[in-house]
Structure 1
Amino acid sequence: MGRRNTTQVPYFILLGLTDSPEVQLVLFLLFLLIYLITVLGNAGMVLVICLDVQLHTPMYFFLSHLSFLDLIYSTITTPKTLQNLLTSTKYISYMSCLTQMYFFVFLGATECFLLSSMAYDRYVAICNPLHYPVIMSTRLCCSLILGSYFIGFMDSTVNVLCISSLHFCDSNVIHHFFCDTSPILALSCTDTHDIEIMIFIVAGSTLMVSLTTICVSYVSILSTILTITSTSGKWKAFSTCASHLLGVTTFYGTMMFTYLKPSKSYSLGKDQVASVFYTIVIPMLNPLIYSLRNKEVKNAVIRIMQKKQDSRPLK
C-alpha cells in the first residue's frame, strides 16, 4: 500500500483500541464477559417471551425483536474485536469489512424504528387504553416490525453502495476497532463530499424521524400522566415507560454523538469510547433494563421454572 493507486484494497488493518499488551488483555477479558452476558441476557429474554403465554402481547413482541437485534448487533463486532485483542495480525478483508458495515448499519437503523414503534405502543396503552387491543392488532404490530427491517435494509444498502464506490490510495489502516463509516470515509483518497452528504441525510433522517416519533409519543404520554389524579396511578403509568425511556436515551445519545457530524471531525478517542458503548455495552444493558425493572418478566421466569420443575418425573 506504499504506492499511490486508485484500486480497491484487498484488506484493511483494524488499528484497534490500544497498542499495550497489558491493556489489550484487560479489555479482552472485560469484553468477553460483557459479550457472554449479552448473549445470555438477550437469548434468555427471547426464550422467556416465546415460552410464556402471558407475555404474548404487543409490548413484549417488540421487546423480543429488540433482544434479537441486540444479540446480532453485538455479534457483528464483538467476536472480531476479541480476536484482534489477542492477535498481532488485525486484518479484515475488503468484503468482510463491507459485510460488517452493512449489517451494523442495517441493525442500527432497524433498532431506531423498533424503538419508535415501542414508544407508539406505550402511547396507545396509556393514552387510549380502552382501544389498545383494537389499535395494536397483530397486523399492525407485524407491519411495524417489517417496516423497521425494511427501512434498515434500505439505509444499509445506500450506505454500503456509497462506501463501495470509494478508492483507497495511501493507507489501509482503519483507526477503529471495527469497520465503521466515519473512519473509512476519512481513509479514502477520493473526494467524499457528495457521499458524506448522502450518508448524513440518510442517517440523519433515520435518527430524526424515529426520534421525533418517540418525542411526540412521550409528550402525549406525559400530558396524559399529568391528568391522572392519584399518585399511585401516575407512578404506575410512568413505570410502564421508564425502562423504554432509559433504553432510548442511552442508545440515541451515543448514536447522535457519533454520526450526526462530518467525518472530518472524527475524533479517535471520543468516537471509540462512544462506539464501545453502543456496540458492546448497550446490547448488554437492554435486557437488564427491561427485565430487572419489570415484574411481569420476573414472574414469567418463575412460572417457566415452576413448569419445568413440575414436569420432572417423580422418582
Structure 2
Amino acid sequence: MRVHFTNLFGQSPRSVALIAQNDTMKIAKELGANELAIYFYDNSQESSGELNSRLDGIVAGVSYGDIVFFQSPSWNSVAWDTSLLHKFRAVQTKLVMFIHDVPPIMFPSNYYLMPNYIEMYNLCDVVVVPSEQMRDRLIEEGLTVKKIIIQELWDLPHSLDLHKPSFQKKLIFAGNPARFPHILNWQQDTPLHVYADKEEDKDYSKIQLEGWRNKQELLFDLSKGGFGLVWGNSEKSEDELDYYKLNISYKLSTYLAAGLPVVVPDYLSNADYVREHGLGFVVSSLEEADRCVQECTEEQYAQMVANAQYAAYLISNGYFIKKLFIDAIMALG
C-alpha cells in the first residue's frame, strides 16, 4: 500500500493556493507520500477524450488499495475534480478529501455549485476540513461522510535562524491592501507596516509600505518584532462574509511561524486557539486592536513571544499536516 497526495502546479509562484499545496506536499513526502502532480490550466476547450487521457496519466501510478489525499480544489473545475475522483475510485483506492478552500462559500456568486462540491466530497472515506465551523456548515449543506478531521492551523515549513521578536508598538499586515480598503485608510494611532507590492493608483500615505517579500525574507523581517494583524475584508466584524469565519488564515500561520504575537478578530475560526495559547490579542474591532497594542507592557509582550515560540516550532516543522496525515490514515483503519 502506498499513500499519494495531489499537488498543484501552474499558478503564480505567489499564489497562496499553490504555496499551501506545495508546502503540504513537502511535509507529506517526509512521511513517505508520493506526489500526484495536477496542473492548473484552461480546460474549457478540452475534449472528453483528451481529458480522459490526462486523468489516466495522473492515476497511472496508483494501485489497488492505495490511499489518495486529494488537495481540494485543483482550481480547474468541480467537474474536473470529480472526474479524477471517479478514476481513483475505479482502482478501489481509499480517498481522503483535504479541503483547503470551498469556492461556493468563498465566492458567493458560485454558491449554485455547492451541491456539486458536496456530491464530490461525499465520494470520499475521510474529509479534512479547516475548522469545526466549516465542518458544521458542510454538514448543513449535505455532507454525509462520518469521518471528519479538523486541520486547525496551516504549517509553514522552514529552517531559518530567525530573530527573537522585540517589543515594538506597531502592527504588521502581510497582504495586498487593495483587497482591504480599511487597511489603506488606516485610522488608528498604532503604525501599520504593510508587506505588499506598490500599485501606482493607490494612496499609501496612511501606512508604511514595506514592499513584497518572498517567504524567507518575510519571515526574517517579521521576526524582528511588533504584532501580526489578521483581519477580514470588512472593517466591521458584523459586515464580514461567512467565509473568513469558516476557513483558516494562512496569514496567521505566517506570523506565528516567525514567532510573532498576533492580533486577530474574534470571529476568526481559530481565535480560541490564539486566546487559549496566549499568542496575542483577540479583539472585536480595529479600535480595540489599537488600544491593546498601545496598552501592552513589555512583560506581557515577552510572555506572548515565549508562547509563540512553541507554535512557531510546530508550524515550521509541519506538525499540523503530519498530525492530520496520521489521523486520517488511522481513521481509514
TM-score (norm 1): 0.28
Q: Which has the larger radius of gyration?
A: 1
Q: Identify the structure with the greater strand proportion.
A: 2
